[in-house]
Amino acid sequence: MRTEFSFANLAEIETELLAVLAADAQTAKEADARPAPALLTGNEAVKKAVADVLASGEFKAGANETLLLHGPAGLKAKRLLVVGLGKAGKATAHSVRSAAGTAVRFAKPRGIREVALALPLLVSDGLDAAASARAAVEGALVGDFDPDTYRSDRKDQSVQRFTLVAPESADKKALEAAFAEGVIVGESQNFARSLVNEPGNKLTPTILGQRAAEMAQEVGLGWEVHSTEKLHELKMGAFWSVSQGSEEPPALIVLRYEPDGVAKDGPVLGLVGKGITFDTGGISIKPADNMEKMKYDMAGGAAMIGAMRAIALLKPKVRVIGIVCAAENMPDGKAQKPGDVQTAMSGKTIEIINTDAEGRLVLADGLAYAKQLGATHLIDAATLTGACVVALGMVNAGAFSNDDATYEKFDTALKVSGEKFWRLPLGDEYMEMIKSDIGDIKNTGGRWGGAITAAEFLHAFAEETPWVHLDIAGVAWVEDARPYIAKGPSGIAVRSILEWVRSY
């Protein structure tokens, strides 16, 4: 999808589809009066073209509700699409992001390859025009993604050209900068999604390493991809224990962003991602039902790779190290067994209770390595536990932190990203649940509080370093298509991690 920003009179835009946004002006008090939805443009010709249909009450401007007009009178556009933003006053950048995605996903199956979207300038207090411009193009790019890449009769339904249109009187410089950011963020999120979408046979740890390295070269990041030998050299016994049961060698992917002119003693952010390219459970094998979904078990790693891409292009003034621990979790004659004891890079000994709790094992060594490479602050992302899905459903992802100030920054980042995370507690009582009789720590703590004991396991390796842990198991895969995003990989956490990094 080509993206462009134009400053023009909406009535003069020649396009297959012109989309404008509308908010539901109705409040509880006004319920009987039923005022028409408010069209979020000052353009008189557009207002006139939709006046009758808005007055009819057929279109309520609910979030992502659509209304199509062919040959709108007085406009050069072939079609006019009105997209609802939901309640006026409650609209956020995320409403604009979704509405733009809805417009693109409306066009795709209808053979419409060109979409122009009017930048909504008259929205709510909390939403300025620049934030809308960024969100609009992010939403358009995210909406354009479909996961059906291996269909032999696949017709590319991509929208070829997406134009965001603002009035000629707008602040061009500020809007263009925000728009350019949005393009980088949307494309980086889609890059992460394209990795998550790949099946386990097409994306092994080695291939994930190659994809990360190609990206790094393109955007000018430093990179290294290590394998078995380096794991042994670094004494990454926890990471290796997961990999040892697979014919596929592991990949320890390191991406480095080192901007000029930052203080030597300034913060170094360590981004650590779980990169299990397929999780069978190992000897504690998973049931067959839905096991195919476990190709997504590298979504945390993909989020870090996507975020590193955006970081390289947006150039924040802070050093960042991205680490992805990629392995395949397989049962085999060489696979680790329940009861085995492994020694992690940090020296801690781990009693393996369940080989399906493998994510925390690879991350234990990833976190230790990030610290060894100089990270002063850590963030990890992982499709870590089914328990987190039980707790929060497929709506919020789980977040944990050992440091309130660091979490605060992450929480602020969420306001920009529009992604939903919910903080869950840590605590010594949970750490007690994973004490081992034979060694230092067990890799599972039983049925109760499973997302938290998993987080406490990671805490034992992050130790005192300020750290945020993101459990994205429930939200890394969109189970039901929505008007603005396809069923499939969501690309969750790319945007939030990026904003968190930019806050340093």
Catalytic annotation, residues = 286, 360
The one-letter code for the residue type at 137 is V
Binding mask 268-297 for ligand BES (x = CB under 6 A): -----------x-----------------x
Pairwise CA distance, residues 199 & 295, whole Å: 6
Contact 410, 488 (CB under 8 A): no
**CA atoms in the 13 A half-sphere facing the CB of 423:** 17
383 touches ligand BES by CB under 6 A:
yes
Among 272, 311, 357, 381, binds ligand BES (CB under 6 A): 357
Two structure tokens written together for 411? 């929480």
Looking at residues 306 to 335 of the shown chain, list those that interact with Zn ion (rule: CB under 5 A). none
For ligand BES, the nearest residue by Cβ is: 386
Calpha distance 345→217 (Å, rounded): 29
Minimum separation from the CB atom of position 484 to ligand BES (A)? 23
Shortest Å distance, C-beta 281 to ligand BES: 6
Would residue 339 be called left, alpha or beta, if left means φ above 0 and alpha means ψ between -120 and 50 degrees? Answer: left
Q: Spell out the residues 6+ positions from residue 128 whose beta carbon is closer than 8 angstroms to its own.
A: none
Q: Report if residue 279 touches Mn ion, rule: CB under 5 A.
A: yes
* Distance (Å, whole) CA 286 – CA 358: 12
**Interacting residue with Zn ion among 146, 187, 297, 471 (CB under 5 A):** 297
Site size toward Zn ion, by CB under 5 A? 4
Among Mn ion, ligand BES, Zn ion, none, what binds residue 182 when CB lies within 5 to 8 Å by partner kind? Answer: none
Segment contacting ligand BES by CB under 6 A, of 154-162, 203-211, 382-390, 432-440: 382-390
Q: Which of 354, 436, 465, 503 binds ligand BES (CB under 6 A)?
A: 354
Task: Determine the Cα–Cα distance for residues 156 and 263; give it in Å rounded to an integer.
Answer: 47
Residue 359 is a binding residue for ligand BES (CB under 6 A): yes
Bridge pairing between strands 38-39 and 17-24: antiparallel
What is the maximal distance between C-alpha atoms in the chain?
A: 79
Q: Which stretch binds ligand BES (CB under 6 A): 71-79, 162-170, 189-197, 356-364?
A: 356-364
Give the pairing of strands 421-423 and 268-279: unpaired
Which residue number, 406 or 453, has a Cβ lying nearer to ligand BES?
453
CA 296 from chain centre, in angstroms, equals: 13
Residue ranges that bind ligand BES, judged by CB under 6 A: 279, 297, 354, 356-359, 383-387, 389, 444, 450, 473
Residue ranges that bind Mn ion, judged by CB under 5 A: 279, 356, 358
